[in-house]
Structures are given as C-alpha cells and as structure tokens.
C-alpha cells in the first residue's frame, strides 16, 4: 500500500511538472508579445534582407533603431551597388535620405503606422496580434506564425511567415510570400537588442546624413548623362508601348515612355543629379514614403517616383492603382539586377 501511494504521488507530481513546463498556447505567446512591445522602450536590430523579385537576388544590410514613441532610424544598404538609403522619423517629420545624391526628402506622414514593415519588430507583432486567423507552430527553439500582411502592396504580397526566438520572443526571420506561396522577400535578423540606449543626436537628420555620406561617398558629378533605357518587363493586360521620346529636362536628357491601353501610364527616367546644396535643408515631398523593397520611393494618388542606381524614375497614371504602379516599378528594377 505504501509503495502504491508513493507511485501515485510520483505520477501526480510528474504530471504537475509537465503542465508547468508545457508548451505555451498561441494565445499565451500572442499576449506575451503584446506585453513585451508595450513595456519595451525601444530597440536596435541588424538584419539581412533578400529580394527574390528578379533574375538575381538583391541583398541588403538593414540596421534598425527605434526609440519610443515615434523615433525611427532605418538604414538600408546594398553593398554591391553602393546604394544606400535611410528612413528617419523625428520631431520634424519623416525623412528619406539618399547620401550618394546628397538629397533629403521630408514627408508629412504617419510612417510606419500606416502599413506593415518587415524589418520593424513592433510591426510584426501587430500583424500577429491583429490576425485572428493566424497559424501557429512551436518548435524546439522557435515560435512560428503565418499571418496576413498589411503592406502597401498587400495584394501582391498577402502572406508572411514570422519566426520568433522562443527564449525572448525577438524576431529571427520573416518570409513574405506572393499569392502562389513563392517567397519574394526574406529578412534574417542577426541581432536584436531590446531597451537600447540612444544619445541625444541619434535621430537628428543632419547628423545622420553626414555619417551616411562617409559610409557611401557622394556620386561623381562628371559622369555622362547618357544611360541605357529601361523598360518594364511586366505590363497590365492589353497595355503596349505607344511612344518613346527624348526630351531635354532641367537636369539633362530625359526619356519618356508612354504606354496605352485600359491601364495607361507614362514612365519617365533620367540620370540622377547630385544636389549641390547642403543636405541640411530637406525638400518637402508630396505623398507618402512607399517601400518598393529595393528602395523607398514617394507615392501620391497619381504618381510613384524613386531613385535607384543613379537613375531617377517616375510613373504617372490616372488609371493604375498603387499596387499596379509598384508591380511596374519592380519589373523595371529587375533589369538593373541583370
């Protein structure tokens, strides 16, 4: 009888121990994530972002700083092309800095609150918390969520897989997929430091532009204005190139491509010019910062403009949606990676 009692006690104790150490439920993890984001003061993170949208993958180093409530510094750098941009949010507004062109643009925007951002921790957590149909899996080292997205081009990129470190719930990786479940964007985090300290000028526009120009030297101004014309590889159904012409603009030769059809648009491209004035005076730009993946552009109701690899581009259309303009822009970019 005594041995039987000991055996029953041991069994009950083991069951209690297993329950205490048992796997957390999806709701447990979601609640813990929500609480972590609410409590933390900010973070620093480093990641590698890979775009699989063209013939060859484009790889970017991403450095992220965030200090609550609204200070952001995101540095994106394509080391192979010396292509670098920085997104800043401080008390003066939202800025997109392009150090190679000595240019700084200011937006009156709610970025990043207005859409998901694959490299921002709190944005990923928000996507998890808000998606009531999110899928959940627990492995030995990770929690894995599959959720809907809220990206600016979410119709093209509707799903994502978010992998979190089981120990501290920090992001490990993000895979963003198209409607065919093909992974088009991958973000792998190498470092996430929560509650980091920032000095007084960490998010200052002028200071960050100066530092960025040291890392990525300003482009030489003596380069020829001539460049190879780039054509979009993906067009809306029934749309065809109707006219191509060269015109003289303020900054040199400009190529204008007019496409006609139900979804007509005009694509303008010209050699980007390095700004001669100091970058401490930012140009106020209409619209919203628009994340194209390979660069950050400016989106209005009827235009999408961006700079990449020394060329300025603009799509103007009365008929294209923002997602359709993004698709055309990405199909132009794929040629630059060839």
DSSP lists the bridge partners of residue 165 as 142
Does domain 26-215 fall under CATH 2.50.20.10? My reply is yes
- Residue among 121, 125, 123, 99 at smallest CA distance from 111: 123
Token code pair at residue 278:
């100091």
Q: Where are the beta strands (DSSP E) in the chain?
A: 42-51, 58-67, 71-78, 83-90, 93-98, 103-107, 135-138, 142-148, 159-165, 171-177, 183-194, 240-249, 252-260, 265-271, 283-285, 288-291, 296-299, 303-308, 311-316
pLDDT score of 14: 37
Provide φ and ψ at 222, rounded to 5°: -85, 5
CA atoms within 13 A on the CB side of 161: 17
Please, which residues bridge with residue 161 across strands?
Answer: 146, 175
What is residue 12's predicted lDDT score, i.e. its pLDDT?
43
**8 Å CB contact between 336 and 289:** no
Give the residue among 51, 47, 31 at the shortest CA–CA distance from 143. 31
Half-sphere exposure of 167 (CA within 13 A, CB side): 3
Whole-number Å distance between alpha carbons of 5 and 162: 47
The confidence score (pLDDT) of residue 33 equals: 97
Q: What is the pLDDT of residue 78?
A: 85
Task: Enumerate the domain spans of the chain.
Answer: 26-215, 240-271+300-336
CB 44 within 8 Å of CB 202: no
127 within 8 A of 149, measured Cβ to Cβ: yes
User: How far is the C-alpha of 78 from the C-alpha of 76, rounded, in Å?
Assistant: 7
User: What is the model's pTM?
Assistant: 0.85
Q: Give the Cα separation of 299 and 72 in Å (integer).
A: 20
Q: What is the DSSP letter of 146?
A: E
CA–CA separation, 164 vs 234, rounded Å?
35
Beta-carbon contacts of 236 under 8 Å, excluding residues fewer than 6 positions away, are 261, 262, 263, 320, 324
Q: Is 37 helix (H, G, I), strand (E, B) or coil?
A: helix
Q: Which of 140, 321, 326, 308 is nearest to 230 (CA)?
A: 308
CB atoms within 10 A of CB 63: 16
* Bond before 69 cis per omega within 30 degrees: yes
Query: Splitting the chain (338 residues) into consecutive groups of 10 residues, what average pLDDT does each group show?
Result: 47 41 85 96 96 82 96 89 86 92 89 89 96 96 95 83 97 95 95 94 92 70 67 94 90 91 96 69 84 89 91 95 91 67
As a 3-state breakdown, the chain gives helix, strand, coil percent values, each rounded to 5, of 20, 40, 40
pLDDT at 15: 37
């Amino acid at each position: 009888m005594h041995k039987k009692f000991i055996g029953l006690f041991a069994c009950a104790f083991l069951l209690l121990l297993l329950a205490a150490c048992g796997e957390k439920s999806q709701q447990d993890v979601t609640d813990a994530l929500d609480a972590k984001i609410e409590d933390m003061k900010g973070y620093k993170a480093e990641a590698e972002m890979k775009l699989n949208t063209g013939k060859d993958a484009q790889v970017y180093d991403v450095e992220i700083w965030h200090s609550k409530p609204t200070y952001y510094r995101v540095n994106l750098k394509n080391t192979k092309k010396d292509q670098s941009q920085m997104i800043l949010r401080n008390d003066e507004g939202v800025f997109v800095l392009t150090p190679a062109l000595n240019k700084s643009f200011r937006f009156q925007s709610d970025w990043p609150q207005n859409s998901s951002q694959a490299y921002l921790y709190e944005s990923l957590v928000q996507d998890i918390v808000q998606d009531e149909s999110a899928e959940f899996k627990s492995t030995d080292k990770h929690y894995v969520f599959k959720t809907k997205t809220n990206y600016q081009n979410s119709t093209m990129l509707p799903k994502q897989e978010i992998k979190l470190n089981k120990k501290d719930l920090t992001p490990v990786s993000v895979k963003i997929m198209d409607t065919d479940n093909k992974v088009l964007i991958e973000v792998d985090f190498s470092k996430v430091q929560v509650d980091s300290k920032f000095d007084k000028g960490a998010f200052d526009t002028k200071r960050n532009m100066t530092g960025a120009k040291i890392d990525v030297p300003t482009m030489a101004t003596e380069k020829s204005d001539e460049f190879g014309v780039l054509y979009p590889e993906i067009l809306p159904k029934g749309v065809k190139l109707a006219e191509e012409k060269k015109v003289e603009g303020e900054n040199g030769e400009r190529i204008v491509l007019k496409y006609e059809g139900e979804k007509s648009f005009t694509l303008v491209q010209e050699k980007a010019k390095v700004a001669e004035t100091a970058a401490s005076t930012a140009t106020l730009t209409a619209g919203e910062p628009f994340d194209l993946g390979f660069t950050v552009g400016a989106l209005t109701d009827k235009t999408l403009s961006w700079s990449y690899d020394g060329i300025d581009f603009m799509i103007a259309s009365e008929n294209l949606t923002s997602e359709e303009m993004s698709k055309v822009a990405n199909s132009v970019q794929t040629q630059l990676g060839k």
